[in-house]
Structures are given as structure tokens and as C-alpha cells.
Amino acid sequence: MSEPKKRIFIGLIVFTVLLITAITVGLYLIPYIGLKNIHPLAPTIVCWTMGSTLGLLLLGVGLLIATLVRGREVFLAARLRGIVIEVLFPIMILVGRVLGISKMKVQQSFVEVNNLLVRARCAEVKPKRLLLLMPHCLQFSDCDIKVTSDASKCKACGKCKIKDLVELAQKYDVHLSVATGGTLARRRVAEARPDAIIAVACERDLTSGIQDAYPLPVIGILNDRPFGPCFNTSVDIAKVAEALEFLAHGRCGTPVA
């Protein structure tokens, strides 16, 4: 994981936790006097409840940062990924906006952190249970072949990366699916019922896809957009091959930069 993206994520998550802590303390202090009127023990009970919640949150963040630093699974790493996806990321988008950090940078950081947490488990997945999920915009715009119905129909002209992806899918004996959008992508996932996914897309589609697919492990790879979004995009095939090698053979290590 690149250091700038790691710093963005760690900085945002620490700031988010501090903000949640401040809000929680405020919610406790404001009605403190009123709680005494309800029952003498009410303030103590509320204090312990909030304190325990904050303690678990701080512990989770500490374990999460330890996983990011070590690059190996720590206690409850799988659950930590769920916390990041379902709880912290939406808050981090808002915090990033307040701090002047673009939504795209936060999304890039989220994808990288998600990938690191998936890799930290070093779990091997049977090739037949792997799904390569690609966006339709990778296909050459003037191509007449409908690869969304069957990627193997590709004529291997070499004008886009579909040819290379088909070859990778055949080499590793994994399922390759090309989708035109989020709705079709979700349908393909439901039909294939994979144990893990390698997905290529833009920041927005990757983050939403990772959230939709949870708890399925997803390694996200950002596409290249030399002609702008959603038109004749590309992808680093070496990154896809490395992700396949990692998941299919459980080979932990440094991903392709």
C-alpha cells in the first residue's frame, strides 16, 4: 500500500474516532443532570455503556492500524474489515470533506485498505470459486463483439485488454465476467456465487461494489482512464495477474505497485 494513501486513511480514521469520542462525551455530559433525576445510578450506567463502546472502538482502530502496518492478519481482522466498510467509511467521507480531502482520494484510500485487509488473511481460494469482474468500458469502443454475454467471444485483436483478461481467466481456470453496470455486476455475483472477487472499476464503482459484496473478500483494482471516464479504459494486467496468483495460490507478499 502506498504511504500517501496509508497516511490519508490512518489520519482520517483517527480524526473520525476523536470526533465520535467528542460527540459521545457531549451526549453524556449534556443530559447528565437530568439522568440523576431519573435514577441515582443512571449516570453511572450510561457512563459505563458509552465508555465500553468507545473502548471497543479504540481497540478496533488500534488492531486495524496494526494490521495495516504489519500487513498480516491480527485478531479479528475479518471483523475489522466489516467495521471499516459498514461503519467508518461513510463517516470518513464526511470528515474528509470537512478537512478538504477529495472524495476520490478517500475512495482510493478505502480500496487500498480493503485490499490490504483481504491480503492480511492470506487465504487460498479455489480457482473455480474465483470471479474476475470487469467493466464493459475496458472493451474497445468500436468493437462489434458482445463480450458482456460471453467474454470468450473476444476475437483477440489486441485493441483492448479483454484479450489479456480472457487469457488470464483461461490460464488460472477462473470465471471472467464483463458487466455494463452495477446492477448487472451484482447479478453476476449472485449467479456465480464466488468465494472471492477480483474487480476492476473506477473509484466510485469499486467502493460501492466492495460494500455491496461484503462479506465476500474483494480485491479492487482501479482502472486507467486515458480518454476520460467510461470510455476505452484500461487496466494494468500485471496487477490482475498478481491478485489472481495471490488468491489462487495463497501467496502472500507485496502487491504489484
Q: Residue count of the chain, please give it.
A: 257
Domain final position from 91, 120, 149:
120
220 is written with which cell numbers? 479492487
- Residue 49 forms part of a structural domain: yes
109 in the same domain as 183: no
247, 124 Cβ separation under 8 angstroms:
yes
103 in the same domain as 56: yes
168 in the same domain as 56: no
Number of independent structural domains in the chain: 2
Supply the pLDDT for residue 163: 97
- Residue 254 forms part of a structural domain: no
Residue-range definition of the domain harbouring residue 224: 127-249
DSSP E strand boundaries for the chain: 130-135, 175-179, 196-201, 218-222
160 in the same domain as 53: no
Listed in sequence order, the residues at least 6 apart from 66 whose beta carbon sits closer than 8 Å to its beta carbon are: 74
Domain final position from 80, 95, 120:
120
Separation CA 74–CA 87 (nearest Å): 20
Rounded to the nearest 10°, the torsion over CA 207, 89, 83, 54 is: 180
90 in the same domain as 147: no
Separation CA 193–CA 60 (nearest Å): 30
Cis peptide before 215 (omega within 30 of 0): yes
106 in the same domain as 57: yes
168 in the same domain as 92: no
177 in the same domain as 157: yes
b/e string for 123-160 if b means 16 or more Cβ within 10 A?
bebebeebbbbbbbbbbeeeeeeebbeebeebeeeeeb
- Residue 256 forms part of a structural domain: no
131, 151 Cβ separation under 8 angstroms:
no
* Model pTM score: 0.80
Separation CA 36–CA 122 (nearest Å): 51
131 in the same domain as 96: no
Q: Select from 55, 33, 52 the least CA-distant residue to 43.
A: 33
Supply the pLDDT for residue 24: 75
Supply the pLDDT for residue 253: 45
One pLDDT digit (tens) per residue for the chain, 257 residues: 455 566 787 888 888 888 888 877 776 665 665 666 666 777 777 778 777 877 777 777 777 777 777 666 666 666 777 777 887 788 888 888 888 999 999 999 899 988 988 888 767 789 999 999 999 999 999 999 999 989 999 999 999 999 999 999 999 999 999 999 888 999 999 999 999 999 999 999 999 999 999 989 999 999 999 999 999 999 999 999 999 999 987 655 445 44
98 in the same domain as 135: no
114 in the same domain as 196: no
126 is written with which cell numbers? 479455489
* DSSP state for residue 84 in the 8-state scheme: I
- Residue 172 forms part of a structural domain: yes
- Residue 257 forms part of a structural domain: no
CATH of the domain at 198: 3.40.50
Rounded to the nearest 10°, the torsion over CA 120, 108, 128, 168 is: -110
114 in the same domain as 57: yes
DSSP, collapsed to helix, strand or coil, labels residue 133 as strand
Domain final position from 83, 100, 120:
120
